[in-house]
């Protein structure tokens, strides 16, 4: 009886994994969307564009488990709202927080420092301007797509955005505009 029950539980778990959408980010910066098939002996089997790839765990930066529900993207159980992802949008983890951002042809080289000393939850979209050296010149929280008007979270999001450092591009314009999405 316990064999039958464990077989049913295993089949259910595998059916969930096979139908879930996963995002693997390699240390090289490459991001792949597909399905995790297995993880054994330090090797991740990952189905990507119809092919099963074998990736060494030491090559992987992060794995995100993504579920699609009625047009909204969720990571785990937290809604990342804004919103559909835009072309060219990138993401980084800062501690236990997921940060999505977009500034043309730029990447974050030093992740933002994020803290939240409350139980408050919400998504704050911060419009940012950066200089060609990668420093954040201006951060304005509460942009379209934010799911909270909580002043504390907006202040923390502004501080986090200002603490991020982007890559240095000497040929970039003096000021570039973009946004950062922080999910508390």
User: Are the C-beta atoms of residues 167 and 136 closer than 8 Å to each other?
Assistant: no
- Measured CA to CA, the distance from residue 1 to residue 173 in angstroms comes to 68
**In the chain, what are the domain boundaries?**
1-65, 70-184
Half-sphere exposure of residue 7: CA atoms within 13 angstroms, side-chain side: 4
Pick the CATH number of 1-65 from 3.40.50.300, 2.30.30.100, 3.90.1150.10, 2.70.150.10: 2.30.30.100
Q: How far apart are CA 131 and CA 172, in angstroms?
A: 8
Q: How far apart are CA 73 and CA 62, in angstroms?
A: 18
**What are the mean pLDDT values of the chain's consecutive 10-residue runs (184 residues total)?**
45 43 73 81 82 84 58 38 68 88 94 92 95 96 93 96 96 95 92
Please tell me the predicted confidence (pLDDT) of residue 86. Answer: 74
Give this prediction's pTM: 0.56
Question: Residue 92 pairs with which residues in a beta bridge?
Answer: 99
Q: Give the pLDDT confidence score for residue 72 in this predicted structure.
A: 37
In this prediction, residue 69 carries a pLDDT of 36
pLDDT at 29: 64
Backbone angles phi, psi at 87, to 5 degrees: -60, 135
């Amino acid at each position: 009886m316990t064999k039958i029950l464990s077989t049913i539980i295993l089949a259910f778990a595998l059916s969930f994994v096979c139908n879930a959408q996963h995002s693997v980010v390699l240390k090289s910066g490459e991001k792949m969307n597909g399905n995790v098939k297995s993880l054994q002996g330090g090797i991740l089997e990952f189905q990507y564009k119809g092919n099963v790839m074998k990736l060494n765990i030491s090559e992987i930066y992060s794995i995100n488990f993504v579920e699609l529900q009625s047009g909204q993207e969720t990571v785990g159980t937290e809604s990342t709202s804004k919103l559909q992802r835009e072309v060219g949008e990138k993401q980084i983890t800062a501690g236990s927080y997921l940060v999505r951002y977009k500034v043309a042809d730029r990447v974050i080289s030093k992740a933002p420092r994020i803290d939240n000393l409350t139980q408050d939850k919400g998504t704050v979209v911060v419009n940012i301007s950066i200089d060609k050296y990668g420093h954040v010149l201006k951060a304005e929280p509460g942009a379209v797509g934010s799911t909270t008007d909580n002043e504390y979270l907006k202040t923390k999001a502004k501080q986090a955005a200002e603490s991020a450092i982007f890559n240095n591009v000497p040929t970039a314009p003096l000021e570039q505009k973009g946004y950062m999405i922080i999910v508390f």
